[in-house]
Structure 1
Amino acid sequence: MAEHTGPIGIFDSGYGGLTVFKEIAARLPQYDYIYLGDNARVPYGNRSFETVYQYTLECVNHLFDKGCHLVILACNTASAKALRTIQQQDLPKKEELRRVLGVIRPTTELVGELSLTKHVGVLATTGTVSSLSYPVEIGKFYPDLSVFQQACPMWVPLVENNEHQSPGADYFIKQGLDNLLEQSPDIDVIILGCTHYPLLINKIREYVPENTRILSQGAIVAERLEDYLLRHPEMAARCSKNGSQSFFTTESATDFDRHAAIFFGKEVRSVHLPL
């Protein structure tokens, strides 16, 4: 069966998925990974459902072509706007066993166990907020929870321009949190529903009550992926284990490498993938 094995694919519209990949690789270092960032067409957050679906499917198919049997959509917008259609319409057409998983469900499965007030906040891009994916998914597991969302459109540009540690970032971070907490001062758990936002976590903590739980997706997704592979040994057997990591971008590899280190925590060397 060795000839049928391949790396685990990790897809994001840009850099943010590297915060998820970092946690996955730390928890499951034995596997091979391919990361693909569609930087040439970022941002996805303000695009239509159909466009996000088409872009995501194209990149998922690229990862399948590179031998991946399992692909993680390490992007909230792609998970919100494309995952279900890919799972229900496209994967059944594939001859081989292939799976595509997202980052929203692992967090929503957990959040109800952490909230004492039953009031949960979600900070995300405009696209993820408008999709209502978090309220819908949380409602499936915890119908008694009240979910409050806040779009923070300036947060991603702050991170990608390496301004997230600057004093100027505080204005936009405080504004987003104030708007969220105005909806309900009883919020005691906040989900960071964008993979860029973990880089802002220290500043976020400054503007929320001390007892507020802040959930970053990376560690949660990594833990749930490990559990998934244990529960699905047939998929684990299809994932190769040489500890390798490869990076691809649809934009300039030089630009990608310079920014990627901020998210991944160490230098990377990527290859340009023309679409």
Structure 2
Amino acid sequence: MKEYQPIGVFDSGYGGLTVLKEIVAKLPEYDYLYLGDNARAPYGPRSFETVYQYTLECVEWFFKQGCSLVVLACNTASAKALRTIQQNDLPKLDGSKRVLGVIRPTTEIIGNFTKTNEIGILGTNGTVQSNSYPIEIAKFYPDIKVHQEAAPTWVPLVENNEYDTPGADYFVEKHIRNLLAQSQNIDTILLACTHYPLLIDKIKKYVPEKLSIVSQGKIVADSLSDYLERHSEIESKCSKGGKISFYTTDSTQDFDNHAAVFFGKPVKSTHLHL
């Protein structure tokens, strides 16, 4: 029997489960290991150095569990930690392993959604302040103009199960209004945080119908599928048993209750002390 070598999926909390859900739907045959660093969430307001240190600790844990491939299903971690881990830490830890993020797959195809060449980004403070999206989009689509708006209240709304309440409308409308006020030509809005899909019904209320709203789950799943097809040296190491294991650094009861909403089915987690 092949050694257990799951694909690792990491997030600061629950949001990455919206990505894992799409990955499992696309690639159900693989084993997966999910870790939510809920005890130290949210990552959005934290410094680059802190997010990097936390993310690196979690990546090292994944490697110790046998993962040859880890997906940072967290925009803040992808923005603030991925490049340093790829360039500085991977060669020292294990040059045969890989860590991927959610920003690159999204920026590679975002140009397919816009006709005006003006897009809006909604994300956490950390993602917006990093400027990762404008920088990466410019590499693939130098003619696209990017407008950004940080929506720091949206993650707490989602994590506290307030995303479907009347109180959420104020904060959703406020940030969409701020974003769209930057240009009348924005025709595409990217939800650059994996929590935000849970607010999609509220978001649609305040976004004109003619605008495209882009979530990342399916994009990342398609990109991962393509990556595994192109990198047989990594794909061959990933075990295929259809098993999914969940870990959290905080309360398993809280995690399981919230995670079921994000993942779309019941979740049973194990506590991890880092």
Instruction: Give the TM-score band, short-chain normalised.
Output: over 0.9
Give me the whole-angstrom Cα distance separating, in 1, the residues matched to 2:221 and 2:230. 14
| Residue 5 of structure 2 is aligned to residue 2 of structure 1 | no
Aligned to 1:36: 35
| Residue 182 of structure 2 is aligned to residue 174 of structure 1 | no
Q: CA deviation at 1:94?
A: 2.9
Aligned to 1:188: 187
Aligned to 2:20: 21
Aligned to 2:48: 49
Aligned to 2:244: 245
Q: CA deviation at 1:131?
A: 0.4
Please report the TM-score for the alignment, with normalisation by the length of structure 1. 0.98
Q: CA deviation at 1:163?
A: 1.1
* Letter of the structure 2 residue corresponding to residue 16 of structure 1: G
Give me the whole-angstrom Cα distance separating, in 1, the residues matched to 2:184 and 2:164. 26
Aligned to 1:201: 200
Other structure's SS at 1:183 match: coil
Give me the whole-angstrom Cα distance separating, in 2, the residues matched to 1:24 and 1:113. 21
Q: CA deviation at 1:103?
A: 0.4
Give me the whole-angstrom Cα distance separating, in 1, the residues matched to 2:190 and 2:113. 11
Q: CA deviation at 1:96?
A: 5.3
Aligned to 2:79: 80
Give me the whole-angstrom Cα distance separating, in 2, the residues matched to 1:96 and 1:181. 43
Residues 96-137 of structure 1 deviation map (CA, whole Å, 9 limit, x = unaligned): 510000001111111112210000000000111000000000
Aligned to 1:266: 265
Q: CA deviation at 1:243?
A: 0.1
Query: CA distance change for structure 1 residues 95 and 162 in 2, over 3 Å: closer, same or farther?
Result: closer
- Counterparts of residues 98-247 of structure 1 (less than 5 Å): 98-247=97-246
Other structure's SS at 2:173 match: helix
Q: Quick check: 27-36 or 106-115, which moved more?
A: 106-115
Gaps (5+ residues) in structure 1?
Answer: none
Q: CA deviation at 1:13?
A: 0.4
Give me the whole-angstrom Cα distance separating, in 2, the residues matched to 1:207 and 1:255. 31
Residues 174-225 of structure 1 deviation map (CA, whole Å, 9 limit, x = unaligned): 1010000000111111110000000011111111111111110000000000
Two-structure CA RMSD over aligned residues (Å): 1.1
Give me the whole-angstrom Cα distance separating, in 2, the residues matched to 1:255 and 1:162. 11
Give me the whole-angstrom Cα distance separating, in 2, the residues matched to 1:26 and 1:141. 28
Give me the whole-angstrom Cα distance separating, in 1, the residues matched to 2:26 and 2:180. 33
Q: Quick check: 89-98 or 66-75, which moved more?
A: 89-98
Give me the whole-angstrom Cα distance separating, in 1, the residues matched to 2:251 and 2:161. 18
Give me the whole-angstrom Cα distance separating, in 1, the residues matched to 2:2 and 2:17. 28
Q: CA deviation at 1:2?
A: 3.4
Q: CA deviation at 1:95?
A: 3.8
Other structure's SS at 1:172 match: helix
Other structure's SS at 2:112 match: coil
Give me the whole-angstrom Cα distance separating, in 1, the residues matched to 2:94 and 2:192. 33
Q: CA deviation at 1:93?
A: 1.3
* Letter of the structure 2 residue corresponding to residue 216 of structure 1: S
Gaps (5+ residues) in structure 2?
Answer: none
Q: Identity percentage over the alignment?
A: 67
Give me the whole-angstrom Cα distance separating, in 2, the residues matched to 1:51 and 1:214. 31
Give me the whole-angstrom Cα distance separating, in 2, the residues matched to 1:266 and 1:109. 30
Query: CA distance change for structure 1 residues 227 and 169 in 2, over 3 Å: closer, same or farther?
Result: same
* Letter of the structure 1 residue corresponding to residue 209 of structure 2: E
Give me the whole-angstrom Cα distance separating, in 2, the residues matched to 1:84 and 1:40. 24
